[in-house]
Structure formats: C-alpha cells, structure tokens
Amino acid sequence: MTWLKRIGLTALAIVLIGGVAVYAFQARIGVWLFERGTAQRMGVDNLAALGDGLHVGLCGTGSPMPNLDRAGPCNVVIAGKQMFVVDIGEGGAETLNVMGLSPGKADGLLLTHFHSDHIDGFGPLMLFHWTRGSSTAPLPVYGPSGVEAIVGGFNAAYATDNTYRIAHHGTAVVPPSGAGGIARPFEMTGPTTVVLERDGLKITAFTVNHDPIKPSVGYRFDYKGRSLCISGDTKKSPNLEAVCKGVDILVHEALNPGLVQKMEAAAGADGQGGAAKIMHDIQDYHTSPEEAAESAQAAGAGMLVLSHLVPPLPSRWLYAAFLGDAESRFSGPIVVGEDGMMFSLPTGSKTIDRSRLI
C-alpha cells in the first residue's frame, strides 16, 4: 500500500469517526447551538442601536397573495427613540421581532385604510406590545374615522385571551390596563391633516385614491430636516406628489398589471372564474412600478422604495420583469423592497444609509 493510499484511508477514517461522534452527540450539540443562538437573539435591540435620525424599515412587503418570504404590508418608522408601525399585515409583528425591533417599544400604529390585509396582523402586534413591554396602557392606533370599529373588534376578539394571560403570567408581567389597543381617530376634512407633532417629529396624513375604499390615506414623516412618505394603497396620486415634495424616501406600493393579467388568464383557463375576476379588479386601484417612478420624479424624491408587491416575487430574477421601464422614469435609485430592509436618514446629513436586519 502506497503512502498516498494510507493517508487517504486515514483521512477517511477520521471523517467517519467524526461523523459518528457528531451523530451520537447531535442532541447535545443542538442544545448548545440553540442556547448560544437564543442568548444572541434575546439581546438584540436594534432600536437602541440606531443613531439619531429618521429611519424606515420594511416589516412586510407582501400582499394577500401567498408568499413565504414576505409578510403582509408593514412598515416601521423610527424618529429618534420614537417608533411607529404603519399598517400591520399578517406576519408583520413577528417580522418586527426578528428584526430586533420590539413591538413593546412601539409608540403607536398608523393605519392607511381598513382592507383586511393591512390590519390582519393587529392582534399579534397589540399582544406583543403588551407582553413584551409589560405595557400599562393600550397601543394607540391612529387612523381615519372608522378606526374605532376596527380597534373595538380586535379588542373584543382578544378579551378572553387577555384573561388567560393575566391569570397565567400575573399582573406584574401583563398589567391589565395595558391590554389591547385604543383608537385615535382623525378627520380628513381636506387633502392633509397633521396627526401628531412630538419631540421634533411631525406626522401628516394625506388623502389618496383607492376607490371604492374610503377613507384611504398615506403618511408623511418629518424629523430634524429629514423626511419620508408612505403611500398606502392608491392609484397614481397627484395629491401624494404634491404632499411628498422633496422627501428623501418615498415608499410606494406597486402592482405590475402585465404580470397580474397573466395570473388572470391562467385562473380563467383553469375554470377559476372568481379568482380571475379578482385578478382583473385589483388592477384598477393600484399603481404600477412605472407610475410610482413617475410620482417619485414629480415629487423630487431622493429614493423610491417599492413595497406591497403584487404579484408575489419568489425570486430576484423576476425583479426586472416587475419593474418594466420604471428606472427610465425616475432619476434616483429604485429599490424593490424585501422584508428586513432598513433605510436610515441621519440628522445633519443628506445621505441615505441601507442595512438589513434579517
């Protein structure tokens, strides 16, 4: 036997012995890995780590259509140490936790409208706000007139569960006064209304066109010389373009009609008439990527971030098809949003910093 063969057999024996050892001790190794990972994750507080400025994170870039990689519509805006969630689609609250942004520290939720996919994550959000922060007051929920019914309905649905939590964990961990949400309605008597001004942050709601869904609004955030807008669901909106003049970032919904039409045709060919009708109908009250780019250009935005993406995009290889010729209609950068993205606007600067929290 040559020395090369001996070395090869020795190496193979070491690999086999190592494999057997790993298999034999995989439970212990798994516990060690879990313990180590848990210790690291439990200590993550990205809210504290962010510098002073205005920040917007994407805690949900999906839609009602199934997409395992994207939670429902959810944005998180941080101004200094204030944190507001804008819309809360299914899975959004869980994604916030994974991003290291504890819902227990949320100062409020702002709703753009009351479509189910923009509110169906509200239950977990208000539960985490209560239990993660031992909150002594309910989560404030800002929205146009009608938000009272939404909050009241979720409070009623969770009332029995609240009693279980209190009985199990005790009032020191889950103070009864902190359960649920509390509605903070505002009236849209004109194209804009100031929702909140506090500690240098100004939040302005503005009307958008999502007919027949009324009321529907977007939000502008201004903090220490930096600004951003979140469109909510809308057709191409002249009011958005006017209100969002000069913002650093425009986060805008986007639906590609050509791709949705292919889904419509496939559903029709398969005999799914109802699904085909829905695919047809949703095309008339959303904005295409090209139209969102035109709005960003008209507003003079520094960056366009597309979110609430329709149809689902399971691969980045689809991004070019989704964008169409949007990039030719806006002179700034366009980002196809993904869950976990964070965009930061430091005070005293013109920069836009990008990071990933998941």
Q: Tell me which residues are annotated as active site.
A: 117
Neighbouring CB atoms inside 10 A of 58's CB total 27
What residues have CB less than 8 Å from 294, skipping those under 6 apart? 236, 329, 330
Supply 188's token pair: 């849209």
Evaluate the omega torsion of the peptide bond into residue 215 and state whether it is cis, within 30 degrees of 0: yes
End-to-end Cα spacing for the chain: 52
Report helix, strand or coil for 264: helix
- For 225, phi then psi, to 5°, come to 85, 0
Supply 190's token pair: 């004109």
Q: How far apart are CA 195 and CA 142, in angstroms?
A: 8
Please name the helix (run of DSSP H) or strand (run of DSSP E) that holds residue 151, with its range, or none.
helix 147-169
Neighbouring CB atoms inside 10 A of 353's CB total 13
Evaluate the omega torsion of the peptide bond into residue 212 and state whether it is cis, within 30 degrees of 0: yes
What residues have CB less than 8 Å from 138, skipping those under 6 apart? 126, 130, 177, 178, 179, 180, 181, 182
Give the sheet arrangement for strand 201-207, strand by strand: 192-198, 201-207, 217-223, 226-230, 249-255, 303-310, 334-336
Q: How far apart are CA 297 and CA 239, in angstroms?
A: 14
Please name the helix (run of DSSP H) or strand (run of DSSP E) that holds residue 38, with its range, or none.
helix 26-42
Supply 263's token pair: 């889904």
